[in-house]
């Protein structure tokens, strides 16, 4: 998916420094060394930016918080019927 279906925006903007704060960028760089990739950035109006990371295997998702901390998405359980991609799609909508 190259474009957000509702706003015509890319899921991962080219200008991360304008969208994420320094704490988030530092954590993103650290997580990248452990196989985590930025999957999309959600920018809801009047709310903090939500950055969503996914691991190499595609079975775990983390949210990158405004303070640079991460929290794993507890809703994702690969033994249940919802796949990582389905959960990502649910978050992205």
Segments making up each domain of the chain, as ranges: 16-92
pLDDT tens digit sequence for 30-80: 999 999 998 888 777 787 777 889 988 888 889 898 899 998 875 544 444
For the whole model, what pTM was predicted? 0.65
CA–CA dist 59, 78 (Å, integer) = 7
């Amino acid at each position: 998916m190259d474009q957000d279906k509702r706003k015509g925006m890319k899921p991962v903007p080219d200008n991360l420094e304008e969208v994420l704060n320094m704490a988030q960028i530092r954590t993103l760089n650290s997580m990248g060394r452990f196989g985590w990739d930025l999957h999309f950035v959600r920018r809801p109006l009047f709310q903090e930016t939500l950055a969503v990371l996914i691991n190499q295997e595609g079975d775990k998702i983390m949210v990158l918080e405004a303070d640079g901390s991460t929290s794993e998405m507890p809703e994702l359980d690969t033994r249940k019927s919802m796949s990582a991609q389905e959960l990502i799609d649910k978050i992205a909508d």
